[in-house]
Structure 1
Amino acid sequence: MTPLAHDKAAFVRAHTRLLPVPHAPEIVLHVADEATALWEKTEEELGAMGLPPPFWAFAWAGGQALARYVLDHPAVVTGQRVLDFASGSGLVAVAAARAGAARVEACDIDAFAAAAIAVNAEANGVALTVRQEDLVGVDEGWDCVLAGDICYERDLAAAVTDWLSRLAARGATVLIGDPGRSYLARERLEPIATYEVPVTRALEDNEIKRTSVWVFRSV
């Protein structure tokens, strides 16, 4: 781990608590109590404004649903090369590793997320490959691609959905965890499991979010 990465890992540990995930208590995550305060601390840490929100510090509904599904249906990932896209905390990647994936890559463009993924993998005793890069449009032959809560912004949702659709069309197993956010392409997807997921009211409009795991419809 580089000195800069080590500093971010220390930041993650200093400003979060290690707690079980509400809908997947087999997994523990370093999570924050309050989003805005952590966001401000992150900007102070780097001496920069306009940083992305600390998505990595919370167990989002889509990620919790995906993690639960993977843990309950390990055959989806067992022996497979798995990509957890926009991994955030690394929750879904940890679940895939726990469920027997041969190799798990967790990618996120946020440097703090990359540090959080590594810290959370260590806390759960699993091995992951952390990639801090934008992989939209890339195909490295993954057997399974998992993506939680990616449909909160119009342009990003459209680009990612098109990319994931192409991966599914060539034979990858593609699972999307989403509670029905504004830009979810429902007309292209169908749910295969639905859960009542406990979430924090600091981020969501309800304490329980009805959240589905989605796959692309067969053409």
Structure 2
Amino acid sequence: MSPPLALQQSLSELLGDARLVVTDLPDTSLKLWLIDAQNMNRAFTPDETRRILYEPPYWAFCWASGLALARYLADQPHWVKGKRVLDFGAGSGVAAIAAAKAGALEVLACDLDPLALAACQANAALNQVQLSYSSDFFGEADRFDLILVADVLYDRENLPLLDQFLTRGQQTLVADSRVRDFRHPLYRQLESLKALTLPDLAEPHEFRDVSLYHAQRCQATFSVPAQPL
């Protein structure tokens, strides 16, 4: 099977010999187009390193929190079954695809990066599910039952979004392995999960510990502004 042409071309421009391959995700029924692990097992040139830092192909990896959330939804389908779901910062689309597989009524994959949305579309086809797509979270109506968020809080400047999620959905599930001082009055920890990023980036083992948080819209959220902070 040949990888999606536009995605492969973009990856080749970034990392010369890197290739997208169909990768089965462990302990799931899902598969994604991801960077071939063998391509990552080498030294990068200074120019490649610069390009990776400034233009990281997030969509070509299955990050640990996304994998953990996908497994959780497969085990706990009641979170999404028959519901309207938005996957924020969808990346490869792994959480969105898992929600669709678990019986969601509608799943919208939302990401600012057009390449990420292209990856979501390719991976949805690979898994034989139907998704919708958006690049503008704040352009979406307040109509979702659940907002899914995985691997978004690596940048602490994104923390104010925790309030904003509840302006578009009744509930939010956040999977995160980076923030160790997570404190928010509306969010409570549900689970501690284990997962790793694919292909394996040899990240510190602490990043394999994924925390799952849940928030339910309440009266206090009605005063939250509907624009990004």
* CA RMSD across the alignment: 3.1
In the alignment, which residue of structure 2 is the partner of 1:123? 126
Deviation of the 1:143 alpha carbon: 1.1
Farther-moved stretch of structure 1 (177-186 vs 65-74): 177-186
TM-score normalized by structure 1? 0.78
Q: Does structure 2 retain, via aligned residues, the 8 Å contact 1:154–1:183?
A: no
TM-score normalized by structure 2? 0.75
Query: Which of the residues 73, 95, 99 maps onto 1:70?
Result: 73
Question: Across the two proteins, how many residue pairs are aligned to each other?
Answer: 201
In the alignment, which residue of structure 2 is the partner of 1:209? 208
Q: Does structure 2 retain, via aligned residues, the 8 Å contact 1:198–1:208?
A: yes
Letter in 2 for 1:11: Q
Matches within 5 A, 1:44-123: 51-123=54-126
Q: Percent identity?
A: 31
Deviation of the 1:81 alpha carbon: 1.0
Q: Distance in 1 between matches of 2:162 and 2:207?
A: 25
In the alignment, which residue of structure 1 is the partner of 2:176? 178
Q: Mind listing any 5+ residue stretches in structure 2 that lack a counterpart?
A: 12-17, 221-229
In the alignment, which residue of structure 2 is the partner of 1:16? 20
Deviation of the 1:155 alpha carbon: 1.7
Q: Distance in 1 between matches of 2:56 and 2:113?
A: 10
Structure 1 residues 109, 183: CA separation in 2 closer, same or farther (over 3 Å shift)? farther
In the alignment, which residue of structure 1 is the partner of 2:187? 189
Letter in 2 for 1:177: A
Q: Distance in 2 between matches of 1:135 and 1:190?
A: 23
Structure 1 residues 197, 181: CA separation in 2 closer, same or farther (over 3 Å shift)? same
Q: Distance in 1 between matches of 2:54 and 2:117?
A: 15
Q: Does structure 2 retain, via aligned residues, the 8 Å contact 1:64–1:91?
A: yes
Query: Which of the residues 147, 153, 173 maps onto 1:145?
Result: 147
Structure 1 residues 211, 57: CA separation in 2 closer, same or farther (over 3 Å shift)? same
**Which structure would you say has the larger Rg?**
2
